A = this chain, B = another copy of it.
Amino acid sequence: MLIARVVGSAVSTIKAEQLRGLKLLIVRETTTDDELVGAPLVAIDGVGAGEGELVLVARGSAARQTPETADRPVDAIIMAILDSLEVDGAVSFRKS
């Protein structure tokens, strides 16, 4: 899964019927030190993530493995908000 930060949101009225009710958040991949490195992509918010939070994003058919997204034309979902990351024995990120 991708380590990413929520950097914003997207609004769309003209969309596939199956997307109604799904929140669209913009995320960007980060390092384990919470540094932005990736291009923006849009993921379905599966856990009530807020702007600025470090999250895990599952992509591909994994994005359809929740009750809210089953059988929907989506390929990325935020499925966890990160409390902390530990690398080489040291905490590299801790949710403030």
Contact = CB atoms under 8 A, between A and B. Distances in A.
Interface of A: 1-3, 7-16, 18-19, 24, 26, 29, 31-32, 37, 39-43, 46-48, 51, 56, 58-66, 71-77, 79-89, 92
B26 A66 contact: no
Contacts of A75: 1, 58-60, 62
A58 B90 CA distance: 26
The count of identical subunits is 5
A6 B16 CA distance: 17
A26 B65 CA distance: 22
Given A46-B73, A62-B61, A65-B71, A86 B9 contact: yes
B47 A40 contact: no
